[in-house]
Amino acid sequence: MVIYDLICDAKHRFEGWFQSPEDSERQAANGLISCPTCGSVAVRKLPTAARLNRGERKDSEQVEVITGRQASELLRRLHDFVDENFEDVGHEFADQARRMHYGSEKERNIRGMVDADEARSLEEEGVPALSLPPRPVDPEKLN
């Protein structure tokens, strides 16, 4: 996994996570990278060192976290994007993801549910999947 610092033409800074540098270039060339704040596709990499994730995080390692309204809005937009662009296959996710990974089913964007053991099993098999944090609560629905 490669992580780049990105900036849009409105000067909003954000991270982009890609499977590889080639994946980053392909997505950029096809206009698939957009600013999570304003939606602009006029995005470029900032001159920083890329971070390459080559293994599991050890419990003693620190991780970067964010908080605040922008974080909630970013997560809400991510969930909206997934809802609009990924087919919900429910509890059939692991079986369908495996079939696509091993070539017995055409690849497509899917989403669904697995338990922690199944998620580990998919990871061990090299089946690409990503766990999403829960959708943030709408502040208008809070007491």
| Statement: the pTM of the whole predicted model exceeds 0.85 | no
Alpha carbon distance 40, 8 (integer Å): 6
pLDDT of residue 17: 85
Percentage of the chain modeled with pLDDT above 70:
83
Instruction: Report the run of H or E that residue 44 belongs to, with start and end.
Output: strand 43-45
Cα torsion through 38, 41, 44, 46, rounded to 10: 20
Task: Choose the weakest-confidence range: 19-23, 24-28, 65-69, 109-113.
Answer: 65-69
Query: Residue 84: its pLDDT value, please?
Result: 94
Residues 6+ apart with CB under 8 A from 2: 17, 18, 19, 20, 21, 23, 24, 50, 51, 52, 53
- For residue 50, is pLDDT > 50? no
* Average pLDDT over every residue of 27-54: 76
Q: Where do we find the tokens 């990924």?
A: 86
Length of the chain: 143
Tokens (6 digits) for 131: 């766990």
Closest alpha carbon to 13 in 1, 23, 25, 5: 5
The pLDDT, as a whole number, for residue 85 is: 94
Residue type, 8: C
Q: Please write the tens of the pLDDT for every residue from 91-134.
A: 999 999 999 999 999 999 999 999 888 988 998 888 988 888 88
